Structure 1
Amino acid sequence: MPRATLPVYDTLTQTRAELERNSSLGDGLSVALWQRNQLEDTVYSRPGHHTLSLYLEGGFDIRRRDQPGLRGAPDKLCILPAEHESDWRVSGQIRFLHLYFAPDRFDALALTLLDREARDQQLYDRTYMDDPWLAAVCRQLAGLDWDDPHGRLAGNALGHEVLAHLMLTQTGRRRSVTVKGGLAPAQRRRVQELIEARLDSVLTVGELAAELALSEYHFARMFRASFGQPPHAWILQRRLVRAREALAGGDQALADIAASCGFASASHLANRFRAALGVTPGEYRRWAGR
């Protein structure tokens, strides 16, 4: 989602809030980490996109003016739908995560996940909600390295998990969704071909799911059932296999190998390689060349 279409984000940039880092995760999902420690008011007026907020630290003295009896705290969640309006009194220290997502992405999920029209699935406006599962997933998201393509892909996957959870629990139409079994053989072959063809470029769970005409929720679970790993872990494994082949096959520069295998830089490749195999790419190359 382009930053120009994120009024909540843009509103915060005009306040005393300090942006720690942000990223586009793909598929209409964007994320940002913020902190504030100044007294001020903040107003959001029909921003045009949905926002999920998790308080990571502090927030005890922040109140929404139309709900003055509620107080923030770590692990409290707020849902700010696209057409909502809210006026906040901010005081005291706070550190928080924002996940921004496009209404059309959420609307499409209603059809693919629940086979319902989007007009029947309106996202609730929630202030200081408790949801331990959702808070834990958002903390995972906050802990990822979004500068690393694999961190972004893992974040993309977590973002889709969040959207499915919100669709199932925060739209007024509670409904369980059961996924049984894995991908059909033809689906497995197709998704493997697509991954192999695009190991050097950006991939998202949404793109892979769309290729098989599945919701991201169904795709992720069926993929895990078929391959024993979530999509982002499988893709990382395949990229490391390609990197090992390139290292064993010649003296290509590490930066070139990183680019051809979908890593952001030589250092990102080296870090992932060492974490997975226990040796650096240079050590592996020397061992493979013996």
Structure 2
Amino acid sequence: MTPFTQLQVFNVMHASPNARLELSAHLGDGLAAALWRNRDDARDYQAPSHHTLSCYLADGTGTFRRQRPADKGAPDKLCVLPAEHESNWVINGAIRMAHLYVSPAQFALGCIRLLDREPRALQLQEATFMDDPRQALRFRQLSGLDWNEPAERLLASSLAHEIVDHALLSQVGLRQGLRLKGGLAPSQRRQLVDYIEAHLEHALTLGELAVRCNLSEYHFARMFRVSFGLPPHQYLLARRLHRACLLLRLGHAPLGEVALACGFASASHFSNRFRQVLAATPGEYRQALGRRAGR
């Protein structure tokens, strides 16, 4: 889990003598969030390694990008700031806003899962002061939760995933002028995705996956990372935890059965890996998210 000290946009805000951090939390799965107040300031973001999605919660009518002084912010306006972008901001008057920080690995997983495309072929498209009422509502629901309270932090994590999924489906486009070299063929990538999903309960090995592509383990691991944006073991763990979350939200099977259905050797191993990624036990997740699903 990336510490806040490595989130450049967070650090730029935190370094301002005028900005005040109301609340921040890691939400698991490479997601983190922060609520900010700022006033009469200027902030510059230069090539952050992470993506940032933001929503203005209050004020902001004096906020603009230095190169576009005529375009001003307002409550419920949304901004999409991709990794590696550069932007310069002027804040006249007050503003309160929510930031959602998204890791490259989480972006890569979304590209594979939602768009069936290689992450390197896609880019999150920059947007400033966008209108999207449903997305703004999600941000307001997210900002209304107490992220220091475990159950509400899990609800915040669920909302953060909804926000990221919506952004991927609406704000992602093809990289222009990119010629893909190396990596797996699209047919191999799709076959692997289908095979992994159909065999998550089994103890899949690197060799077993490599054989399906007629590659050595070494070359397969390299080409998998190029095409998927993350190494095989990290992708496999993410898919197992994704299935586990679905089973915990929608069913009542004992944790041991959920663990085995998702390819974990034991309930304790499952619980440890779940807690490492989501900062909560499977039981806490089931209680918090199951209650939300039942509403």
TM-score w.r.t. length of structure 1: 0.62
**In the alignment, what sits opposite 1:24?**
26
Summarize the Cα distance change of 1:65–1:149 in structure 2 as closer, same or farther, 3 Å threshold.
same
For the Cα contact (< 8 Å) 1:149–1:262, is it kept in 2? no
**In the alignment, what sits opposite 1:14?**
15
Superimposed CA distance per residue, residues 11-34 of structure 1 (whole angstroms, 9 cap, x where no aligned partner)? 111111000111000011000111
Task: Quote how far apart the aligned CAs of 1:36 are.
Answer: 1.3
Are 1:93 and 2:122 matched, yes or no?
no
**In the alignment, what sits opposite 1:201?**
none
**In the alignment, what sits opposite 1:211?**
240
Superimposed CA distance per residue, residues 67-122 of structure 1 (whole angstroms, 9 cap, x where no aligned partner)? 22211000000111111001111111111000001012101211122221012220
> 2:117 corresponds to which letter in structure 1?
R
* RMSD of equivalent CA atoms: 3.3
**In the alignment, what sits opposite 1:159?**
160
Partner Cα distance (1:96, 1:75) in 2? 9
Partner Cα distance (1:41, 1:157) in 2? 32
**In the alignment, what sits opposite 1:178?**
none
Gaps of 5+ in 1: 174-186, 191-205, 239-258, 264-268, 277-290
Q: Where do 1:179-190 residues align within 5 Å?
A: none
Task: Quote how far apart the aligned CAs of 1:40 are.
Answer: 2.1
**In the alignment, what sits opposite 1:67?**
68
For the Cα contact (< 8 Å) 2:66–2:88, is it kept in 1? yes
**In the alignment, what sits opposite 2:42?**
41
**In the alignment, what sits opposite 1:104?**
105
**In the alignment, what sits opposite 2:205?**
none
SS class of match (1:82): coil
Partner Cα distance (1:78, 1:142) in 2? 16
> 1:124 corresponds to which letter in structure 2?
Q
For the Cα contact (< 8 Å) 1:121–1:167, is it kept in 2? no
Task: Quote how far apart the aligned CAs of 1:212 are.
Answer: 6.8
Q: Where do 1:1-290 residues align within 5 Å?
A: 1-15=2-16, 16-37=18-39, 39-172=40-173, 210-211=239-240, 223=246, 231=249
Superimposed CA distance per residue, residues 206-226 of structure 1 (whole angstroms, 9 cap, x where no aligned partner)? 999621776xxxx97xx4xxx
For the Cα contact (< 8 Å) 1:123–1:167, is it kept in 2? yes
Superimposed CA distance per residue, residues 124-171 of structure 1 (whole angstroms, 9 cap, x where no aligned partner)? 111101011110111111011111111111111111111111111001
SS class of match (1:172): strand
Partner Cα distance (1:213, 1:144) in 2? 23
Moved more, 112-121 or 17-26: 112-121
SS class of match (1:35): strand
Task: Quote how far apart the aligned CAs of 1:172 are.
Answer: 2.3
Partner Cα distance (2:71, 2:145) in 1? 30
Summarize the Cα distance change of 1:116–1:5 in structure 2 as closer, same or farther, 3 Å threshold.
same
Partner Cα distance (1:260, 1:124) in 2? 35
Partner Cα distance (2:112, 2:81) in 1? 22
Paired-residue identity, % = 43
For the Cα contact (< 8 Å) 2:114–2:169, is it kept in 1? no
4+ residue runs of structure 1 moved beyond 2 angstroms? 206-209, 259-263
Partner Cα distance (2:8, 2:282) in 1? 35
> 2:122 corresponds to which letter in structure 1?
Q
Partner Cα distance (2:81, 2:282) in 1? 38
Partner Cα distance (2:281, 2:66) in 1? 52
Gaps of 5+ in 2: 175-197, 202-234, 256-279
Summarize the Cα distance change of 1:11–1:157 in structure 2 as closer, same or farther, 3 Å threshold.
same
